[in-house]
Amino acid sequence: MKLTGKVAFRDIETGIWVLEGDDGKTYQLAGGDRKIKKDGGRIEAEGEVVKGAMTIGMVGPVFEVKTYRFV
């Protein structure tokens, strides 16, 4: 699936990177490379929501990024 949205760092738990999707949902980011961690950066990403993934973040579904670009 393709998602666009804003990358954000949330100081929750040990620190969580999320994608605030334009679909109104918040996804916990996974995958990609370390450069994706740009607080406030808007990205367009291709990837999948990982079913059954449980996390310490508990901020929303885990979105595993395969490819992305800043827009």
Partner 1 sequence: MTQSSSLRVLVGLGVAAFAAACTGDRTAPAARAPEPASGPVESVKVATRPSGDIGDRVADAIVVDFKDGTTAEQIDAWETRWNVDLELNSVEGVDDGIALAVGVDDVEGALEQIRRDPNVESAEQLVEYSIPETEADEAEAIPLRGPAPEDSDGYQPNDPDWDKQWNLRQIHMPKAWQTSKGKGVVVAVLDTGIAYEDNDEFKQVPDLKGQKFAKGYDFVNDDDHANDDHGHGTHVAGTIAQATNNKEGVAGVAFEATLMPVKVLDHFGRGTSADIADAIRWAADNGANVINMSLGGGGYSQVMADAVAYARKKGVTVICAAGNTGQGRVEYPAAYPGAVAVAAVGPEGQKAPYSSWGKELDIAAPGGDKSKGEQRGILQNTINPQDPSKSVYAYYQGTSMATPHVAGVAALLIAAGAKTPDQVEKALFQGADQVGGKEWSDQYGHGILNAEKALKALKNPNPKEAEASAAPVAVAPASTPASDDTSDSASADEAADLAAAEAPSNWTPLFFAAGLLAVTLLTLRGRARPGYLNVALKPTFLIPALLVTVGLFFLPWIGGAHGSSVLATFRLPIPDWLEKIIFGRGKTANPLVYSALLPGLLALFGIKGKGFRPIVGGMAIGFAGVLAYSAFAGAPALSWLPFTFLAIPWLVINAALCLLIARGMLKKEAA
The residues that touch partner 1, with contacts defined as CB under 8 A, are 6, 8, 10-14, 16, 22, 24, 26, 28, 30, 40, 42, 51-62
Residue closer to partner 1 by CB (options 22, 46) is: 22
- The three-state secondary structure class of 30 is strand
Residue closer to partner 1 by CB (options 46, 49) is: 49
Smallest distance, partner 1 to C-beta of residue 46, A: 20
Burial of 47 (0-12, 13-18, 19+ CB in 10 A): buried
How far apart, in whole angstroms, are the C-alpha atoms of residue 41 and residue 19?
10
